[in-house]
Amino acid sequence: MNPKVKYYWLLAIIPVCFLLWFWLSKSDKTPIMYLPYYGPKYAKTGGDSAYHTVGTFRFSDQDGLTINEDSVKNKIYVTEFFFTTCQSICPIMNDNLVNVYKRYKNDGRVLILSHTVDPETDSTATLKHYANRHGVTNRNWLFLTGDKKQLYDLARKSYLLDASEGDGGADDFVHTQNFALVDWNRHIRGFYDGTDSLEVGRMVKDMDLLLEEYAFKKGNNP
């Protein structure tokens, strides 16, 4: 066979192989891409690795209901830390989250958890008013308040959203513009600048990927 003919046949076969692989990967619903895991890994018995996991928590939401780790079971969620009287980064962050909320407001697999860093000011009633101002009409976006030390420990040690040190005391303050994306096992799967609309758009794409991964793993682990 003419070498040129072989070359052209090779060029024709490559895209066909790619299309065949793509079709097969979609037909068995295997995700094409998995998001990374963030935070330190821990060695388990047998040599396996355990990924960093968000710790347990207990807060009150804008409706006065208790929210804990069981509330996020079998869900993916975005988390942030803000305060209602903030006039700098928080309004931008939460305007961006309004668009995320609208996209997923009817999806029971998705939550947004917004933790106040000023619990002395942000009572449940204050958070309810704030939620109403942002058009929240269901329980897919929860605004949380509670013990300041627990809130701050969660931001720093569990969600890894703030690198500063503090004891959650009267002079301590957390102020971060970052969001974390957390999966159904409370593993962190992404960090994003909540004031950057392009970053938030990237987060939405990652949320869709994570939902695809969740559906695949749930389907293969009945």
Q: Which tens digits make up the pLDDT trace of 62-81?
A: 999 999 999 999 999 999 99
Q: Which of 118, 169, 109, 110 is nearest to 145 (CA)?
A: 118
* Predicted local distance difference test score (pLDDT) of residue 44: 73
What is the pTM (predicted TM-score) of this model?
0.84
* Predicted local distance difference test score (pLDDT) of residue 116: 98
* Predicted local distance difference test score (pLDDT) of residue 43: 76
* Predicted local distance difference test score (pLDDT) of residue 170: 87
In the three-class reduction of DSSP (H, G, I as helix; E, B as strand; rest coil), residue 93 is classed as helix
Residues 6+ apart with CB under 8 A from 17: none
* Predicted local distance difference test score (pLDDT) of residue 104: 98
* Predicted local distance difference test score (pLDDT) of residue 30: 59
In the three-class reduction of DSSP (H, G, I as helix; E, B as strand; rest coil), residue 203 is classed as helix
Profile the chain (222 residues) by mean pLDDT over runs of 10 residues. 52 55 50 86 74 97 98 98 98 98 98 98 98 98 98 97 90 95 98 98 98 89 52
Residues 6+ apart with CB under 8 A from 133: none
Q: Where are the beta strands (DSSP E) in 48-205?
A: 49-50, 58-60, 66-68, 76-82, 110-116, 141-144, 178-182, 188-193
